[in-house]
Structure 1
Amino acid sequence: MNTHIQKKFNQKFNIFLSKHKLRSILIAISGGQDSICLINLIEDFQEKYNKKLKITYIYIDHQWTKRSQQQIKHLINIIKKTKKKFIIHQINQSVNSELKARELRYNILIKYSIKHHYRHIITAHTQTDKTETFLQHIIRGTSLNGLTSFNEYRKFNNTIHLYRPLLEFKRTEINWLCRKLYLPIWSDITNYNYTINRNRLRNELIPYIHKYFNYNIDKKINDFLINAKLENEYITQNAIKLYLYSRHKINIALNYNLIYKQHIALQIRTLQIFFFIIQNTVLTYN
């Protein structure tokens, strides 16, 4: 019997595969409940709708705890039942920063995708991850562009794309499905390490907001980000038009007089585009 989550996932995933005409996908898993649920949903989808789809699972082990080897064995036992290819990449260097660890993971995933000709990487991020990322960005003092960067579909470059099929589901929904299907969830002790800022957000700040401010904080933030994304796209499109109109036909230069007459938001975006194109440099706020 299909649950509402399975039905919704199957519909979305089928549209995604058809739109991009995919025959193979690379699925990045972490070992937590979201990843285990994603494995189950994709295997169920393949059995029902697309048995020819080539699926490869990849796990990147930072070796942060002594139990990392046990977690790998747990994942091997799960993937073994699917009879799919399973890649394990162990990182020997010590990475204490969450940001650097994420960048390292994505670099590994992109390199593997390029080498083995995968065009799409699938991850198990949920709407709750989107809420956590939003709060992290706010605390760091990001821009509108940074706030709206965590989307269901993202382009790394012209050939490699990232897709998050669970981004419309809350972590509580995923947990419900895992319990209903009796999925073997690994309890990761690093999720309670409060030197990682995201864990403190997840286990303390967000539950506090749920209880005392707004129970539907995930939905409210998601609604805000949808509107913010539309506004950000409007500013970006106009900045691109201004860049194309004001750039010099021969020299590496912009027409100062044309740009100076525009709103400060367009001036900033146009300069960001200019420096990114000529130097591959992302300008900071300062």
Structure 2
Amino acid sequence: MVAISGGADSTLTACLMYNFFLKYKYDLQNLFFIHCNHNTRTSNLADEKFITTYFKGMQYSIVKRKNNKKSSEAELRNWRYGEFKKQIRIHGINQLIFGHNLTDRIESTFLNLLRGANLNGLVAMQTQETHHLLPDTQILRPILTLTKDDILHICKHNKIPFMTDPTNKDTTTSLRNKLRNKVLPELYKLAHKQTATTNSYIESMKSIYEQLEKSHGEKILNSEF
């Protein structure tokens, strides 16, 4: 099951999975898409329309949150994962695929750092892992090594349409947006190497955790996203 928001990241991921199924002649009946409408902004309806048009003929489900009150990222995430769990049970799905990218990963690492996370929180997002809200489902992130700029370039080159969330530029809506639009661009200027340096740090932390897991004989890393 592929989670799709309508944005460039998830739409590219959905296209890649569709083409993967075609290339290797897998049954498209086993490819399922889900769109979660948070019902927090008026443009959510436009996202829904895009999904129903672009994914016409495919298996997809659109779920809408009844409560349209402003909610935290954690509250929205918990609602999404609750909907994922329902669809996973209905369709007998054992893998959930996200369009998270390298830029998302770096944002999450810094966000967790500001929130006082432990080492586990600093090793944000893996290409393959489990989630504490979906312990029996494999989480996959096939484009995690691509930056946001990479994804936009690929979409443009391959004429892949996508929706743009207008709130992503609004620094008053969330701490993540402040990091994304104000803090990280300045840090990238100082680092010069931009995302590569930060990702190397995250991978180093991951290696340390993997060694700890081996020595303790138990799993330490668990996704929070």
Q: Same fold (TM over 0.5)?
A: yes
Q: After the TM superposition, which of the residue ranges 219-228 and 150-159 deviates more from structure 2?
A: 150-159
| Greater relative contact order (CA < 8 Å, ≥ 6 in sequence) | 2
Length-normalised TM-score, structure 1: 0.70
Question: How far 1:149 moved relative to its partner?
Answer: 4.4
The AA in structure 2 aligned to 1:131 is I
The whole-number CA distance in structure 2 between the counterparts of 1:162 and 1:102 is: 15
SS of the aligned residue for 2:84 comes to helix
Question: How far 1:240 moved relative to its partner?
Answer: 4.6
Q: Is the 8 A contact 1:57 1:86 kept in 2?
A: yes
CA RMSD in angstroms, aligned pairs only:
1.9
Q: Which residue of 1 aligns with 2:118?
A: 143
Q: Which residue of 2 aligns with 1:154?
A: 129
Q: Which residue of 2 aligns with 1:45?
A: 20
Q: Which residue of 1 aligns with 2:108?
A: 133
Q: Which residue of 2 aligns with 1:88?
A: 62
Length-normalised TM-score, structure 2: 0.87
Q: What CA deviation, in whole Å up to 9, does each residue of 1:235-275 have, x standing for no partner?
A: 3443458xxxxxxxxxxxxxxxxxxxxxxxxxxx9xxxxxx
Aligned: 1:198 with 2:176: yes
Q: Is the 8 A contact 2:188 2:195 kept in 1?
A: no
Alpha-carbon distance change, 200 to 158 in structure 1, aligned in 2, over 3 angstroms:
closer
Q: Is the 8 A contact 1:127 1:167 kept in 2?
A: yes
The whole-number CA distance in structure 2 between the counterparts of 1:158 and 1:126 is: 22
Q: After the TM superposition, which of the residue ranges 202-211 and 52-61 deviates more from structure 2?
A: 202-211
Moved over 6 A (4+): none
Question: How far 1:234 moved relative to its partner?
Answer: 2.5
Q: Which residue of 1 aligns with 2:90?
A: 115
2:49 to 34, 59, 73: 73
The whole-number CA distance in structure 1 between the counterparts of 2:81 and 2:194 is: 28
Question: How far 1:158 moved relative to its partner?
Answer: 5.4
The AA in structure 1 aligned to 2:166 is I
Gaps in structure 2 of 5+ consecutive residues: 221-225
Larger Rg: 1
Q: Is the 8 A contact 1:95 1:101 kept in 2?
A: no
Gaps in structure 1 of 5+ consecutive residues: 1-25, 242-268, 270-286
The whole-number CA distance in structure 1 between the counterparts of 2:39 and 2:208 is: 41
